[in-house]
């Protein structure tokens, strides 16, 4: 049985909220608490390991557990991307390029091992490990891309959000009006929601002088967590269809 949710509009709403929460929570630990990117990465990487282990060993789909893993990966992705870009000194371009290579390598290994990277095939522990590794790298890449456009690209948080929102609109249009692979479109949308969430998160908590709203990172994180919890409780959450189902439904 699949332990990942069916991809619906509710899925994407919760995903964007989760990525925004990951940005504010990651910054709260590394910046507001002053623990730094390395310590923050170590803390959230441990959370990812625990959450993924619980998810892989679970017997059935649990929406709270699934989204807890998503939040853990997106928060770890925030601190890891910042550590690579800033602490290691490889810059946004170097960090984005490295993470893109790692993401493509993970997808390539997944495809070579199981013959598909569709979420409809995520019905075994082995497939789940590839799935979560791909998500971890996609979350980290998304953070690096968002920072690159906002800072190096000079677009700022609002401009970056418009760019990634527009890119998501293009993916949605391709879904409705073309025959492009639904698996390709899913992963494209999954990656793009991360920098969109990062832009929104930075817009909420960065100083006014930097183009943000200067909201407290912990306050913003609490509001986002409450919103996510409400969405999980109110929006339909069920496991994705069996792999025998049509991939066009993705």
Listed by start position, the domains of the chain span 9-234
Residue 121: how many other CB atoms lie within 10 Å: 18
Contact 225, 21 (CB under 8 A): yes
Contact 157, 39 (CB under 8 A): no
Give pTM, 2 decimals: 0.87
Provide the β-strand partners of residue 239.
Answer: 5
CA nearest 52: which of 142, 141, 134? 134
Over residues 185-216, the pLDDT tens digits come to: 999 999 888 888 877 877 776 666 666 676 77
CA nearest 185: which of 32, 47, 12? 12
In the chain, the N- to C-terminal Cα span, in Å, equals 17
245/228 Cα distance (integer angstroms): 28
SS3 59: coil
Over residues 47-92, the pLDDT tens digits come to: 999 999 999 999 889 999 999 999 999 998 888 887 876 777 777 7
């Amino acid at each position: 049985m699949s332990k990942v949710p069916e991809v619906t509009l509710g899925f994407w709403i919760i995903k964007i909220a989760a990525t925004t929460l990951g940005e504010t929570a990651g910054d709260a630990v590394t910046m507001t608490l002053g623990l730094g990117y390395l310590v923050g990465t170590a803390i959230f990487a441990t959370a990812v390991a625990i959450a993924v282990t619980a998810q892989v060993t679970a017997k059935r789909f649990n929406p709270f557990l699934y989204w807890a893993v998503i939040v853990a990966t997106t928060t770890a992705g925030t601190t890891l991307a910042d550590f690579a870009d800033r602490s290691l000194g490889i810059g946004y371009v170097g960090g984005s390029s490295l993470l893109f290579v790692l993401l493509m390598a993970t997808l390539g290994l997944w495809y070579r091992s199981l013959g598909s990277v569709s979420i409809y095939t995520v019905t075994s522990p082995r497939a789940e490990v590839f799935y979560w590794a791909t998500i971890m790298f996609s979350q980290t890449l998304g953070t690096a891309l968002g920072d690159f456009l906002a800072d190096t690209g000079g677009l700022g948080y609002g401009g970056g959000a418009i760019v990634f929102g527009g890119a998501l609109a293009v993916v949605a249009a391709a879904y409705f009006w073309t025959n492009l692979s639904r698996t390709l479109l899913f992963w494209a949308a999954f990656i793009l929601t991360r920098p969109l969430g990062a832009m929104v998160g930075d817009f909420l908590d960065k100083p006014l002088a930097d183009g943000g709203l200067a909201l407290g990172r912990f306050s913003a994180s609490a509001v986002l967590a409450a919103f996510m919890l409400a969405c999980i409780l109110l929006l339909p959450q069920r496991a994705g269809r069996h792999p025998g189902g049509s991939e066009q439904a993705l």
